[in-house]
Amino acid sequence: MKYELVLHKNLKTPGYTGSLTDYERLGGYQAIRKVFKEFTPAQLTDLVKRSNLRGRGGAGFPTGMKWDFLPKDPAITRYLCCNADESEPGTFKDRELIERDPHQMIEGMILAAYAIGAKVGYIYIRGEFVYGARVLERALAEAYHAGYLGKNIFGGRTGIDLYLHIGAGAYICGEETALLESIEGKRGLPRTKPPFPATHGLYGKPTVINNVETLSNLPHIVNRGAEWFASIGSPPKSPGTRIFSVSGHVNRPGNYEVPMGITLRALIDEHAGGVRGNKKIKAIIPGGASAAFLTEGSLDVKLDFEAIAQVGSMLGSGGVTVMDEDTCMVWAALNLMEFFAHETCGKCSPCREGSSWLVQIMRRIEHGHGKMEDLDQLVRICGGIAGKTICAFGDAEVAPILSTLKHWRSEYEYHIKGKKCMVGNRGVKLVAIGGH
């Protein structure tokens, strides 16, 4: 299938370095010139609403609508934040956009800041992205030098300052209110909502938080029009391209920008080169660790927000993890449960206590000490977490266990009865409980 790259067009151009010169040579920063001539902030917001762009961070909320929730009084200070905290297991698309084409994202931030009337924006980048942070520092300096950023831009109509805020290792800071707390110099504990950041965000002011890939789409929407964007991909509800990070047992893991709406099978076979060693696929996580596991029976599902939701998972962050037939599902679910237990912020007790309880039971099963009644207990504990916490983390952490139990309950049972894995050559070693 032939299609046009949008977000990856520059970085796939041979010799492209991501410098300001390279970016401008390929048409960069034309969008802000166009906006300055042709659009009021309200018109820009309207354009993005008409494009039907939805957030690429995980929740898929319509971007223009998010902007439109801000109070209209221009006298109120407001902020823009770029969520560059990419930490969802299986996801590494933003990292590449930052490292290879930083100006595309910066131009997107200038557009977003103009639309919402923000004078200051913060890029919250995870502390592990040391190289990415250096690239962004350099790109920001270039943008200031060229007059795209500063106190007096858009012909004196506004001023926009962008700053890099480097995190220090905490998955939860990708949750947007935890991200705000973190910028404010606190522990990254999500806030109770409402009020939402649109009215009470950073420093209690109206705030928009957009993901790197979301922002990177904006220059293209301005240059080519809302109708163009709304017509590509899987319109009307999932237009545009999407960068999927494919990892696990595939021949060519990597980031692939594809039109939304192609099938999971096409992504895995045609782009990621199929499964290693001609093995069969057992499981796919379509949207990062927070998304439910799917079976190979779902390979023909379309990759768009609605279609993935219909088969009981979510498009989430676009992190697609592929597992072959030799992968033990109990082992895989335990691996992700350990991730969540490590990353729970501890604010809500169902999540804090539940996550480590789930890990204990899962370890017991994995290591051959499980009991049949553990399976019901797992479901019961998950039910005590999902929907009972103030952020989406609680719903996310139960996804691996509940979905693997639903599709591969027999593997759990085999583990408990046979005290070993059903598949592969992992040949579970019996270890003492608590052993790791």
Partner 1 sequence: MNPTSKITAFSEKAEKEIREILTRYPDKRSALLPVLNLAQAEFGHISEDVMVIVANRLDLTPPKVYEVLTFYTLLNEKPVGKYLIQLCRTLSCALAGSENILGHFQQKLGIGIGKTTADGLFTLRTVECLASCGTAPAVQINGAFYENLTREKVDRILDDLKRGAEPVPKAMGEN
Contact track, partner 1, 324-363, x by CB under 8 A: ---x----x--xx-xx--xx-x------------------
As given in the structure block, the two tokens for residue 333 are 């679910």
Q: Count interface residues toward partner 1 (CB under 8 A).
A: 59
Distance separating alpha carbons of residues 293 and 399, to the nearest angstrom? 8
By CB under 8 A, tell whether 290 contacts partner 1. Answer: no
Q: E-strand spans in 95-201?
A: 120-125, 150-153, 158-166
By CB under 8 A, tell whether 188 contacts partner 1. Answer: yes
- Gap between the terminal Cα atoms of the chain: 46
Question: Which of 100/415 has CB closer to partner 1?
Answer: 100
Q: Which of residues 128, 270, 325, 395 is near partner 1 by CB under 8 A?
A: 128
Q: Which of residues 3, 25, 33, 127 is near partner 1 by CB under 8 A?
A: 127
Question: Which of 185/236 has CB closer to partner 1?
Answer: 185
By CB under 8 A, tell whether 240 contacts partner 1. Answer: no
As given in the structure block, the two tokens for residue 404 are 């693997």
Exposure string for 39-51, b = 16+ CB within 10 A, e = fewer: bebeebbbbbbeb
Give 355-412 as a DSSP string: HHHHHHHHHHHHTT---THHHHHHHHHHHHHTTSSSSTHHHHHTHHHHHHHHHHHHHH
Question: Which of 135/402 has CB closer to partner 1?
Answer: 135
Give me the residues paired with residue 80 across strands: 121, 208
Q: Which of residues 153, 323, 329, 382 is near partner 1 by CB under 8 A?
A: 323
> Is-contact 158 80, C-beta < 8 A?
no
CB of 175 to partner 1, least distance (A): 14
Query: Within 147-176, which residues bind partner 1 (CB under 8 A)?
Result: 161, 163, 165-171
Distance separating alpha carbons of residues 116 and 64, to the nearest angstrom? 10
Query: Within 130-149, which residues bind partner 1 (CB under 8 A)?
Result: 130-131, 134-135
> Is-contact 267 246, C-beta < 8 A?
yes
Contact track, partner 1, 47-86, x by CB under 8 A: ---------------------------------------x
Q: Is the sign of the CA dihedral 410, 306, 301, 325 positive or negative?
A: negative
Question: Which of 64/101 has CB closer to partner 1?
Answer: 101
Q: Name the one range near partner 1 by CB under 8 A: 44-52, 66-74, 184-192, 224-232.
A: 184-192
Q: Which residues contact 306 (CB under 8 A, 6 or more apart)?
A: 237, 238
CB of 79 to partner 1, least distance (A): 10
By CB under 8 A, tell whether 129 contacts partner 1. Answer: yes
Query: Within 203-222, which residues bind partner 1 (CB under 8 A)?
Result: 203
By CB under 8 A, tell whether 289 contacts partner 1. Answer: yes
By CB under 8 A, tell whether 390 contacts partner 1. Answer: no
**Phi (first) and psi of residue 81, to 5 degrees:** -125, 135
**Phi (first) and psi of residue 257, to 5 degrees:** -90, 120
Q: Which of residues 108, 253, 318, 370 is near partner 1 by CB under 8 A?
A: 253
Q: Which long-range contacts (CB under 8 A, 24 or more apart) does 197-201 make?
A: 198/66, 198/69, 198/70, 199/69, 199/70, 199/71, 201/78, 201/79, 201/81
CB of 294 to partner 1, least distance (A): 15
Residues in contact with partner 1 by CB under 8 A are 86-92, 94-96, 99-100, 126-131, 134-135, 161, 163, 165-171, 182-188, 203, 245-249, 253-255, 285, 289, 319, 321, 323, 327, 332, 335-336, 338-339, 342-343, 345
